Amino acid sequence: MRDSRRLPLPERERRWPAFLLVPLLAAAPPQEAPAQDIPISLNQLGFEPGDPKTAIVEADGAPRDWQLIDAAGKVLASGKAWPFGPDAASGAPVQRIDFSRFGVPGRGYRIRVGTSESAPFAIAPNLYRPLARDALIFFYHQRAGTPIEARIVGAKWARPAGHAREVAKCFAGKDERGTEWAGCPYTLDVTGGWYDAGDHGKYVVNGGISLWTLLAAHERNPGALAQGSGPAPGLLAEARYEMEFLLRMQVPDGTRLRVPVGKPEPAPGRAAREASQAPFAEIDASGMAHQKVADARWTALPMPPQDDTQERLLYPPTTAATLNLAVTAAQCARIWKGIDAGFAARCLSAAERAFAAAGRNPEVYATGSFTGSGGYGDMDVSDEFYWAAAELFVTTGKPEYHQAVTASPYLTAPVGEPGWPQVATLGTITLATRPSALPQAEVRRLRGLLVAAADRFLADAAGNGYRIPYLATGYPWGSNGALLNRAMVLGIAGDLTGNPKYRAGVIDAIDYILGRNPNFTSYVSGHGLFSMRNPHHRFWAPALDPALPGPPPGTLSGGPNSTAMVDPVAAKLKGHCAPQRCWADDVHAYALNEVAINWNAPLLWVAMWLGA
């Protein structure tokens, strides 16, 4: 593929890294950077003294000489780069610079190759603590139903409550396919929770994996971020805010609803398949969870949530959403047991009711009938059943949940990269790392599966020039989140074995996220000299309305996407970018540069693991 950074440009621009050429960056104060004859990328935040330290040079030919210089230009170390050669993922020949032996704390360091210099960086202990705090405060910014206070986030990001009192009825009537929905005989107060991404929807499925990741980070290290920075909420306070919302999305007992049950019948042709619908049936929906609450139609950009006047609707319950509720409520029950016994009991009751409801209704799937909000459709929820059974077994020790765990093929299956549609790995993580009645031989076997997955991820790093534990012919939507979920598995393998190679793998992943990538950009706003500034977001959109703020520090871009280039910005790049370069810092690039709670959650987990 052609490299988008090498498409024809005015002569005066040809020597500048691609991220400086995005027109919408004019919305933020411009940053000056040296012209680079030889592009150099590295973690713009920096490195802890004892960690591996790598920079990447885009250059072919003989190994390039490099120097490490301080803020005054004094040479502190030097050497030769190691040539990897042509790199399909980045579309360029690359060489690697290893300066791991240098560990003297300081700021303003740079790597120099010829006349080119890298962005400045630091070497310091506890480097990732501010990143972890900011990644957590992102969730406070995404809150619905409460004012975002200046005393916590500063006047720039303060705003009135969005959807301050959200009492919603169920969708009823004809959907966009002409299918008639009966609705439900109640309304629910679903105030609160987190907006999912750049839109105003609140989704139980994606909220589930996001909340699980925060709570798993807490269980690994209960002391870290237990208290917020200053008046900011701590991790458990933030997690409880979402948990309360998920509990509100549960269908009341004694409710019967008419919903599609089973998978749609196969039909020839794409249009026919998209229009197909599983047959409706009346079910006992007691204890299930609604898939989402969202606007009836997509809102325009920009649109601060307090200005959103569209009707908010509950959309039908699904088995996947119900199991996500069971998972997080089971976690809640064991974590809050010694903190707030009443809340813990309420969570456990909801979890067990949800698991039972999913068992009664194992094939109620999300449909593509409602296009004013995200679908999060999943036609295989066997992994969600395993995940929920694992959480409930660890929390309660009850034989019925142990039986559900041992009956699942996922208990012995190889572990893969987790994500909201593939959550079996998360169940294995819980069984392998949390105290339970599972036999120790079984725990050791599960730990071996996690370590084996981590080793596969490390092996993937050898296949790409930027040496990240990710190997793909095409980069998917939210590739940064996928990489960080792999880093979480690497971190767990590090915990289980004590082998430093796993920390090195996590460092490779976070280095890429924070600037060691062919876009020469830190994908986390406010962390690194050249960081993402124009996410696809409805109220962090200064490029569309100068009165609106840009993203707060700690906000992660979804990242390169070469497989679903469906937005207007991505469409222009399609066919002209190597996978890692299929990205733009543009508010309109929803397939490339949206933000989402399920991507920021592993960023928080990894930053905490690295030293929060």
Q: Which burial class, exposed, middle or buried, applies to 444 when counting CB atoms under 10 A from its CB (0-12, 13-18, 19+)? A: exposed
* Beta carbons within 10 angstroms of residue 462's beta carbon: 10
**527 has catalytic annotation:** no
Measure the CA angle with vertex 510, ends 507 and 511; round to 5°: 80
* Beta carbons within 10 angstroms of residue 524's beta carbon: 29
Handedness of CA 81, 82, 87, 90 (dihedral sign): negative
Alpha helices, DSSP H, located in 122-253:
129-141, 150-153, 204-220, 235-248
3-state secondary structure of 528: coil
Answer for the pair 137, 154: CB distance below 8 angstroms, yes or no. Answer: no
Question: How many whole angstroms separate alpha carbon 330 and alpha carbon 411?
Answer: 19
Contacting residues for 590 by C-beta, under 8 A, at least 6 apart = 198, 536, 567
Q: Which phi-psi region, left, alpha or beta, contains residue 593 (left: φ > 0; alpha: ψ -120 to 50)?
A: alpha
**218 has catalytic annotation:** no
Question: How many whole angstroms separate alpha carbon 538 and alpha carbon 305?
Answer: 8
**117 has catalytic annotation:** no
* Beta carbons within 10 angstroms of residue 253's beta carbon: 11
Catalytic-role residue among 51, 87, 134, 199 = 199
Answer for the pair 492, 429: CB distance below 8 angstroms, yes or no. Answer: yes
User: What H or E segment, with its residue span, contains residue 513?
Assistant: helix 500-513
3-state secondary structure of 283: strand
> According to the 3-state scheme, what is the secondary structure of 238-250?
HHHHHHHHHHHCE
3-state secondary structure of 45: coil
Question: How many whole angstroms separate alpha carbon 498 and alpha carbon 479?
Answer: 28
Catalytic-role residue among 536, 567, 586, 588 = 536
Dihedral angle computed from the Cα positions of residues 87, 89, 92 and 98, in that order, rounded to the nearest 10 degrees: -60
Answer for the pair 110, 72: CB distance below 8 angstroms, yes or no. Answer: no
Contacting residues for 516 by C-beta, under 8 A, at least 6 apart = 41, 42, 43, 54, 55, 56, 466
Catalytic-role residue among 196, 244, 378, 585 = 585
Question: How many whole angstroms separate alpha carbon 609 and alpha carbon 405?
Answer: 28
Answer for the pair 475, 562: CB distance below 8 angstroms, yes or no. Answer: yes
**265 has catalytic annotation:** no
Q: What is the rounded radius of gyration, in angstroms, for the C-alpha atoms of the chain?
A: 24
Answer for the pair 118, 40: CB distance below 8 angstroms, yes or no. Answer: yes
User: What H or E segment, with its residue span, contains residue 316?
Assistant: strand 312-318
User: If you search the block for the tokens 């609140």, which residue do you land on?
Assistant: 202
Residues identified as active-site: 199, 536, 585, 594
